[in-house]
Amino acid sequence: MEVVIVPDAAAGGELIAGAVVDLLRRKPDALLGVATGSTPIPVYEALAATVRAGGVDVSQARVAQLDEYVGLPAGHPESYRSVVLREVVEPLGLSPDAFLGPDGAAHDVQAACEAYDKALAWAGGVDLQLLGIGTDGHIGFNEPCSSLASRTRIKTLTERTRRDNARFFGGDVDQVPHHVITQGIGTILDARHLVLLATGEGKADAVAATVEGPVAAIVPASALQLHPHATVVVDEAAASKL
């Protein structure tokens, strides 16, 4: 695992956007695994700026969602499908057809999970998976004690994660769904390159446990230690407990 400490979130965004641009120049139809939450926004902004400046051709690029809430009505602004369309697909000018995601509104959620794992494999696998990290060390929505070999499946959110994410639902924790679909840890580890970005002091404990602790299901992100090509980009605040 490579750990890169950057001065701030903007520098982390520039660094990772640069890695995505390098990838797209080598492989124009690369499949990018994208994360939601506040942390990756500087990456998407830096990438969109490069695209607008004509620095990279994204006409063949494809994106894949990491996770999704279960049960939000279609088109809900906080469904991760809506978030990825708004923050990644539209600013980069990608075709919505180039976008893979699990169906959080499916009647048969288990079948939707299995279909998503298959879709990722049929698409040739994720080339670069961008990850954030929860304050409890979760990646995607793999909460603590998720199996390190897990595949895409339905999970129940912890109260802590629902409280953390309430800010996206007008601060009302009751509006945050209880259930989600998430790529499993095993699914995430299938990506060719994992890039985790963590910024701010609130992530310092989770980052220290991920990088310096044992590989353990209680800290899902520690599974990155098992991956042959994992990069952890942290600002100085998130690195403060390393």
Q: Among all residues, which ones are annotated catalytic?
A: 67, 136, 138, 143
Q: Which is nearer to ligand GLP, 27 or 147 (CB)?
A: 147
For ligand GLP (CB under 6 A), the number of binding residues is 14
The reply on whether position 37 binds ligand GLP by CB under 6 A is yes
Edge-first strand listing for the sheet containing 31-34: 2-6, 230-235, 193-198, 128-131, 31-34, 62-65, 99-100
Work out how close the CB of 110 gets to ligand GLP at its nearest, in angstroms, rounded to a whole number: 20
Q: Supply 90's token pair.
A: 């539209």
Q: Which residues pair with 180 in a beta bridge?
A: 69, 155
Q: Supply 11's token pair.
A: 């520098």
Interaction with ligand GLP in 158-177: which residues (CB under 6 A)? 161, 165
The reply on whether position 68 binds ligand GLP by CB under 6 A is no
Contact segment (CB under 6 A) with ligand GLP among 18-26, 32-40, 91-99, 122-130 equals 32-40
The reply on whether position 210 binds ligand GLP by CB under 6 A is no
Q: Supply 84's token pair.
A: 């990825």
> CA-to-CA distance for 64 and 233, rounded, in angstroms?
21
Phi, psi of 21 (to 5 degrees): -60, -45
Phi, psi of 128 (to 5 degrees): -135, 120
Q: Supply 147's token pair.
A: 């199996």
The reply on whether position 33 binds ligand GLP by CB under 6 A is no
Work out how close the CB of 26 gets to ligand GLP at its nearest, in angstroms, rounded to a whole number: 26
Q: Supply 229's token pair.
A: 């090509």
The reply on whether position 133 binds ligand GLP by CB under 6 A is yes
Residue type at 57? Answer: D
The reply on whether position 64 binds ligand GLP by CB under 6 A is no
List of residues contacting ligand GLP (CB under 6 A): 35-39, 66-67, 132-134, 140-141, 161, 165
